Amino acid sequence: MLDDFFVRAVLVAVGVAAMAGPLGCFVVWRRMAYFGDTTAHAALLGIGLGITLGIDLTIGVAAVTISVALLLLAMERHTGLALDTLLGILAHSSLALGVIVIALSPSLRVDLTSYLFGDVLSVSVADLAVIFGLAVAVLAALAVIWRKLVAATMDEELAAAEGINPARYRIALVLLLAVVIAVAMKVVGVLLVTALLIIPAAAARRLSSSPEQMALAAIGLAIAAAVGGLFMSLYLDTPSGPSIVIAAALIFSLSLLPLGPKRG
C-alpha cells in the first residue's frame, strides 16, 4: 500500500509530464533547449522574490519566467544580437540576481536543494489541484492553437502566406513554456526542468511520423519517465527529481535501438 504523499507525488508528476510532453516537441522542433535553461535559471530569481515578498513561490516563479520570456522576444527584435547571446546574458544575469536576492534576506534560511532538484514528495492536495488545473488549461490552449502553432513552427514564411501571424504564436509558445517551467520546478527542480521537456520529445521524435503522433508519444514517454523515476526513487532511495530525469534518459536510450524503420 502506497502512502498518500507518494500517490500525490505520482499524480503531480503525471500532470506536469502531460504538459511537458507536447511543449517539449516545440522546444525540439525550434531548437529552443537553451531557452528552457534560461527561463529555468530565471526561476531562481522568482523564488528569491517570492520568499522576500511573502507570496506563493509558484506565482513568483511564473511572473519572473514570463517576464524574462517576453523580455527575450523584445530584445531579439530590437537589439540585433544573436539569440544565443541574448539567452546567455539573461540566463546568467537572472540566476546571479536570484542568488543575490536570497542572500540579501538575512532573516531567511533557505535550503535551495529542493528548488534546484525538485521536491515532488512534499506536494500538498492544494498543489495537486493547482497543477491539474494548469495542465487542463495548457493542454486546452494547445489544442485550440495546435494547427497554427505547428505551421508557424515548421515554416514561418509559409504560415504568414496563409494569414498566420508567426510572432503571435511565438509569444503564445513562450508564455506556455514559462508557465510549465514554473510548475515543473516542484517536480524536477530548476536545474533539471529542461530535461523533462526535451528528452521525452527527442525520444518521441524517433518513434513518430507526424507532429500529432510525436506529441502524443511525448506525453506517454514523459508520464512513463515521471512514474518510473518516482518508483526508482522509492526503491533505491534516490532523489526524486534526478531519478525522473535518469528514467527519461533510459527511455531515450531505448528509442535509439534499431527496432524498425527510422522515423521523424
Instruction: Name the residue range of residue 100's domain.
Output: 4-255
Which cell numbers hold the place of 24? 517539449
Whether 261 maps to a domain, the answer reads no
Q: Which residue has the cell 511572473?
A: 63
Mean pLDDT in runs of 10 for the chain (264 residues)? 81 90 91 79 81 79 85 83 83 85 69 72 83 90 92 87 87 86 78 86 90 94 94 90 92 82 51
pTM metric for this prediction: 0.84
- How far is Cα 148 from Cα 164, in angstroms, rounded to an integer? 7
Whether 260 maps to a domain, the answer reads no
pLDDT for the residue numbered 155: 85
Whether 112 maps to a domain, the answer reads yes
Single-letter residue type at 100: I
Q: Per the structure, how many domains does the chain have? A: 1
pLDDT for the residue numbered 146: 93
Q: Which residue has the cell 531567511?
A: 108
Helical spans, DSSP H, in 54-112: 57-78, 83-103
Mind listing the pLDDT tens digit for each residue in 104-128? 776 656 666 777 777 787 888 888 8
pLDDT for the residue numbered 151: 92
CATH number at residue 22: 1.10.3470.10
